[in-house]
Structure 1
Amino acid sequence: MEESSLLTSVLLFLLAAVIFVPLGKRFGAGPILSYLAAGVILGPGGMALVSDPAAVLHFAELGVVLMLFVLGLELNPSKLWELRSAIFGLGSGQLLLSWAAIGGLAWGFGLSIEAALVVGAALSLSSTAFAVQLMSEHRLLTTPLGRDAFGVLLMQDLAVIPMLLLTAYLAPNSAQIEHHAVPWYWTCVALIGFVLVGKYLLPRVLKLVASSGVREVLTAFALLLVMGSAQLMEWLGLSAGMGAFLAGIMLANSSYRHQLETDIEPFKGLLLGLFFMAVGMSMDLKLFLTDPLLILAILLGMLLIKTLVLMLLGRVRHHTWRPSIALGLILAEGGEFAFVLLSQAQLSSIVDDKIAQILVLAIGLSMAVTPMIFTLFRATKPKVVDTRLPDTINVTESEVVIAGFGRVGQITGRILASSGIPFVALDKDASHVDVIRQYGGEVYFGDARRLDMLMSAGIARSRLLLLAVDSVEDSIEIAQQVKTHFPHINIIARARDRNHAYRLMSLGVTDVFRETFGSALSASEKILQGLGLSQVQANERVKIFAEHDKKLVIASAAHQNDLAKLIDLSNKGKAELESLMRGDRENVS
């Protein structure tokens, strides 16, 4: 590629990322869909600004390699050993059952046994890049479901090379196909050497590189490590991504792990975005106009088979039905290595050119629709309506009623109990109540929004109400109830933020504390001491700020719906605070 052409392509990719990702987020689409859409528009099926998607896809696979390295950094060998049942049990089960079902279906619809085997292998694979990104977006990667899904993806990566070898063997001209293969014993020696170097030599080299004090050198070393490991594994006949993943695992316990992750992250994000764009470019949407029913049938068949297989295996792994279905949907899409398998099968005349192109489009479409299907599935989660009757409260006296027994409520309850002060705690989450009782906590199941529950808790005879529920709206409703029916009760309320505090103050609740405010003040005091101020000086600065902020919140509460007035009060408050702090510094000096 000429220099001007390369520069133009880079500009196009960056421009597409800057335009499409923010637009997609604005309309509720995730980054994956945005990158796919950008690729479709840039590719041959759209504006044809990029004419060789295969070359772009080959280069962009570096993004997948870097992603696997970063994942390896998060998993030390002991954690990987914990995944063995997910990798070899769940993973091999998914691979073999999906392969057999899809391959059998392809054979039944007229493909040769060789073509059916390759098609079954290709469509049984899932996309590591898509699945990991999808789980990250929905915060599932560190859950048991996420670990199982990752185990399946690792098994699929291990299976890619045998699948490629099988494809080469099934080719009509397989005897004439050159294949480089390192003898198995050299592969074992190289892997053992790889592990030993990673454990004993790499930490010393990293320390030496880091001691140079040049940030760019450490970044260069990180990239060299990832790409060198990937190249070594390819030479051994294994997956490049597997090499990068193993390199990450070798450094998972290193003190430089976070620095390496920080250095690699920008490259990983951009190259993954380019990878998703390249997938979009490879989708020939014109085929959808000529054979729409066939493409839809392949797409739906692949999604249904893989979802059903993983759903059943998820149940075997003791997941409940919803997580099992979620596991299937996460891994239902086609994978990036399917493009490699189909390309080799096409070149070897195992699969017809048109069938290969249709399968590529179906795989690309599966990557586009899977995030939408999964998001819709997550949105259908039914709200759990607890039919359990509220607890009967038999309390002779209680000086304090605690509404909401989460972190704030529990700490307050422990202090009150240790001080010999009777209280009644209410929480509307029955499962949470059961857990607290297992630890010996005193709490009743009941909704503090209900007047009868407050009456049963002895609110009429109490002196204080601690309002510590999670929901802002519930908090406001309870405050209104108590202010209306028990105006003599002093309410001490937890507020999530300033706006919540304003709403509580407008109801006449004067004792309001913001949930992170106290810890932020304590942290600030420690920071000031760390910068050289004495404990007395740091404490005084924080005290000045806290008193000033409290006055500012009270003043702002009367104007909570007037943005211009709030901005004006904020600006005046900053100037006043600077003046107070300046006076304190002058007094100290």
Structure 2
Amino acid sequence: MTGYFVQAFVYLCAAVVMVPLAKRLGLGSVLGYLIAGVIIGPVTGLVGSEAEAIQHFAEFGVVMMLFLVGMELNPKTLWQMRGSLIGLGGLQLLLTCSAIFAIALMFVERWSVALAIGLIFSLSSTAIILQTFNEKGLSKTEGARNAFSVLLFQDIAVIPILSLLPLLALPELQGAGGSVEAAQHSEDLNLVKHLPAWAKATALAASIVAVVAAGYFLSRPLFYYVAKSGLPEVFTTTSLMILVGIAALMSLVGLSPALGAFLAGVVLASSEFRHELKANIEPFKGLLLGLFFITVGAGVDFPVLWQNLGLILACTLGLMALKAILLYLLGWIFGIQSYNRWLFTLSLAQAGEFGFVLLSYSQTHHVLPSDIVQPLSLVVALSMFLTPALFIVYDKVIEPRFQDKKIPEPEDEIGHKSKVIIAGIGRFGQIINRLLLANGISPVVLDHKVSTVSRLRGINIKSYYGDASRPELLTTAGIDDAKVFVVAVDDKVQALAMVKHVKTMHPNVQVLARAFDRSHQYELINAGADVVISETYKSALQLGGEVLKRLNFHAFRVEQIKQNFTRIEKQHFDSLYQSWFNEGDKVGVDEHYRSRFMEIEQILLESMQQDRSDHHHATDRGWTPPPGGFDEDRQS
């Protein structure tokens, strides 16, 4: 047990030291993780053979990433991508595989080995590319969207590649006992391995349909049931359970877990639990992806690398150059703009993490000899290691050249992201939401009461389940891009915490808050809220005016009284606030505040007793008196 703690401490220390340093130097977090892995692995020997086993576990971070990516899309958006998904993605895979196959055939005797190498090297790294796009804020660019289409097609293509590779097995390699045992173990985990082709196809289709159907019909009752418990940790457990279950189902039928997770994410893209799901999964995704990158660095076999340094470097650089040429050509054919074409080209010019899986799978199924699997693994690792450097080239060299020629990228559709986020959709928040919707603004609405969210969804008011006092939930809801954040929750402590967090971490966001009483109003102002409205003030003032009308005060006089009352309140608000801030204890009020409050009450009383018929205040002129007979009409 102690050994596990020591190893975990080594991995965490390496990440804590190297990743912030790499970010500070402008190298990106991915390169920081890779360097950390090299230091604790080949350089110092602090970690050893367990890195490969950890790598397989950490690959689940890719599954989580595809799930989160799917939640940013929806079936309509996915259908709109079909051209680049099938056309661009399909051509990239076909041309790259064909070119690598032709070159490999010049160096190996068997065409099956050359084809396997072509298939493996035609894939790119989803983990590195999407992580870097998110870090650098490139996800919305045309180049990034086209790169994602290619990556998605590649992830889908992994399924037929896994089915094809065993057909390329070399007879002379099938006698190795260890490989046979590993292959048997692999077969035990594949429920459709021995089924006829038609039955296997049926099982695969049924699995995909099951994932989609469960997302549509079963996820909402399940999340509703869990959310009613009010236990955040149970919701997190449920989120992980769904992802692990999808991965297990896909693996048992020979499909890609990442593909299943992506489909589930697309299905849940419009769910009211979307933001809470993202907030729960995002930390695990980041941790596992970081661990995966460390294991890639730790898995570099320096003895083999030194023995074949020239060959491995030539293969790595040749592979990246070949893929870059083909990608640039495809970008030109599909009309991708110059600077986006370079981003598209440089981001995909490497082998991917599925390369490790397919190389191991090929060795297990006697497709590739073991003596070339390790060098090919080093080519995959080094190409991934060099990818952050390509992004640096894009940032420092390519992008500045096209800075003046850039065309602004289209904004997200309203409904996916919004400039307004409303926290709380109770009686107060609903009015704000309705007012905005009536004027063509669709805010992102969050509420921690699942019954409220469900009830509003029933009348076509879109809202999302989640506790908006959690910073990670606000991040997934789009606080980084928002202009206005409305605090309308019915909890004083939560409201105060939200205002403090948003004004500290996102000072450019305007915070408008609802206060329960005067003391709460002061606390919100002190926390940095830009606008604070007391929930009872205007309604009480309006109702008080109605009381005066029932006591035979003329409607015009009532409006005078209300406006005078409001004017005096505003005039002396700052002095009361300063008294509370300087002398009060931030919870109650002391003698100084009470004395000041009583003084203002006396001023208010004297003002109300004055006959203002000949001394109208300027604000009175902004009110139009009702027509003659107004009171009689109301009473009749």
TM-score range, shorter chain: 0.5 to 0.7
Give the AA of the match of 2:80. Answer: E
SS state at 2:269 partner: coil
Alignment check: 8 A CA contact 1:282 1:360 kept: no
Alignment of 1:455-494 (within 5 A): none
SS state at 1:251 partner: helix
- Take 2:568 and 2:99, find their aligned partners in 1: how far apart are those partners? 69
Counterpart of 2:279 in structure 1 is 262
- The Cα RMSD (Å) is 3.3
Where structure 2 has 5 or more consecutive residues not aligned to the other structure, the ranges are 175-179, 193-199, 406-505, 514-524, 542-565, 599-636
Alignment check: 8 A CA contact 2:347 2:391 kept: yes
* Structure 1 pair 362–214 and aligned structure 2 pair: CA distance change class (3 A): same
Alignment check: 8 A CA contact 1:311 1:321 kept: no
Alignment check: 8 A CA contact 1:45 1:284 kept: no
Q: Deviation string for 1:316-349 (max 9, x for gaps)?
A: 2211232112101111121111111111223344
Counterpart of 2:52 in structure 1 is 54
Residue 304 (structure 2) aligned to one of 279, 287, 296: 287
Alpha-carbon offset, residue 275 of structure 1: 0.6
Q: Are 1:361 and 2:378 counterparts? A: yes
SS state at 1:136 partner: helix
- Take 1:211 and 1:108, find their aligned partners in 2: how far apart are those partners? 64
Alignment check: 8 A CA contact 2:54 2:295 kept: yes
Alignment check: 8 A CA contact 2:124 2:353 kept: yes
Give the AA of the match of 2:279. Answer: T
Counterpart of 1:377 in structure 2 is 394
Counterpart of 1:273 in structure 2 is 290
Alignment check: 8 A CA contact 1:161 1:239 kept: yes
* Structure 1 pair 214–291 and aligned structure 2 pair: CA distance change class (3 A): same
Residue 193 (structure 1) aligned to one of 207, 210, 216: 210
Q: Deviation string for 1:486-545 (max 9, x for gaps)?
A: xxxxxxxxxxxxxxxxxxxxxxxxxxxxxx999848766775315666695999499849
Counterpart of 2:15 in structure 1 is 17
Give the AA of the match of 1:528. Answer: V
Counterpart of 1:344 in structure 2 is 361
Alpha-carbon offset, residue 238 of structure 1: 0.8
- Take 1:27 and 1:326, find their aligned partners in 2: how far apart are those partners? 21
Q: Are 1:529 and 2:546 counterparts? A: no
SS state at 2:270 partner: coil
- Take 2:568 and 2:328, find their aligned partners in 1: how far apart are those partners? 58
Alpha-carbon offset, residue 351 of structure 1: 2.7
- Take 1:542 and 1:91, find their aligned partners in 2: how far apart are those partners? 67
Alignment of 1:293-332 (within 5 A): 293-332=310-349
- Take 1:14 and 1:518, find their aligned partners in 2: how far apart are those partners? 33
Q: Are 1:225 and 2:242 counterparts? A: yes
SS state at 1:529 partner: strand
Give the AA of the match of 2:282. Answer: E
Alignment of 1:168-183 (within 5 A): 168-173=166-171, 179=187, 180=190, 182=192, 183=200
- Take 1:538 and 1:13, find their aligned partners in 2: how far apart are those partners? 63
Give the AA of the match of 2:6. Answer: T
Q: Deviation string for 1:50-78 (max 9, x for gaps)?
A: 32222011111111111111111111111
* Structure 1 pair 162–585 and aligned structure 2 pair: CA distance change class (3 A): farther
Alpha-carbon offset, residue 11 of structure 1: 2.0
- Take 2:56 and 2:508, find their aligned partners in 1: how far apart are those partners? 52
Q: How many residues in Structure 1 have an aligned counterpart in Structure 2?
A: 432
Alignment check: 8 A CA contact 2:62 2:258 kept: yes
Give the AA of the match of 1:227. Answer: V
Alignment check: 8 A CA contact 1:128 1:153 kept: yes
SS state at 1:110 partner: coil
What fraction of aligned residue pairs are identical, expressed as a percent?
38
* Structure 1 pair 202–286 and aligned structure 2 pair: CA distance change class (3 A): same
- Take 2:233 and 2:309, find their aligned partners in 1: how far apart are those partners? 51
- Take 1:342 and 1:541, find their aligned partners in 2: how far apart are those partners? 76
Residue 109 (structure 1) aligned to one of 107, 110, 129: 107
- Take 2:203 and 2:367, find their aligned partners in 1: how far apart are those partners? 31
Alignment check: 8 A CA contact 1:529 1:538 kept: no
Q: Are 1:157 and 2:155 counterparts? A: yes
- Take 1:304 and 1:48, find their aligned partners in 2: how far apart are those partners? 34
- Take 1:231 and 1:538, find their aligned partners in 2: how far apart are those partners? 68
Alpha-carbon offset, residue 92 of structure 1: 0.7
Alignment check: 8 A CA contact 2:207 2:250 kept: no
Alpha-carbon offset, residue 217 of structure 1: 0.8
Give the AA of the match of 2:314. Answer: A
Counterpart of 1:438 in structure 2 is none
Alpha-carbon offset, residue 120 of structure 1: 0.8
* Structure 1 pair 130–544 and aligned structure 2 pair: CA distance change class (3 A): same
SS state at 1:263 partner: helix
- Take 1:233 and 1:270, find their aligned partners in 2: how far apart are those partners? 23
Alignment check: 8 A CA contact 2:142 2:340 kept: no
Residue 73 (structure 1) aligned to one of 71, 77, 81: 71
Alpha-carbon offset, residue 187 of structure 1: 2.2
Give the AA of the match of 1:352. Answer: P
Counterpart of 2:31 in structure 1 is 33
Give the AA of the match of 2:303. Answer: K
SS state at 2:368 partner: coil
- Take 1:212 and 1:346, find their aligned partners in 2: how far apart are those partners? 48
Give the AA of the match of 1:253. Answer: S
SS state at 2:301 partner: coil
Q: Are 1:206 and 2:219 counterparts? A: no
- Take 2:111 and 2:51, find their aligned partners in 1: how far apart are those partners? 30
Q: Are 1:335 and 2:345 counterparts? A: no
* Structure 1 pair 233–539 and aligned structure 2 pair: CA distance change class (3 A): farther
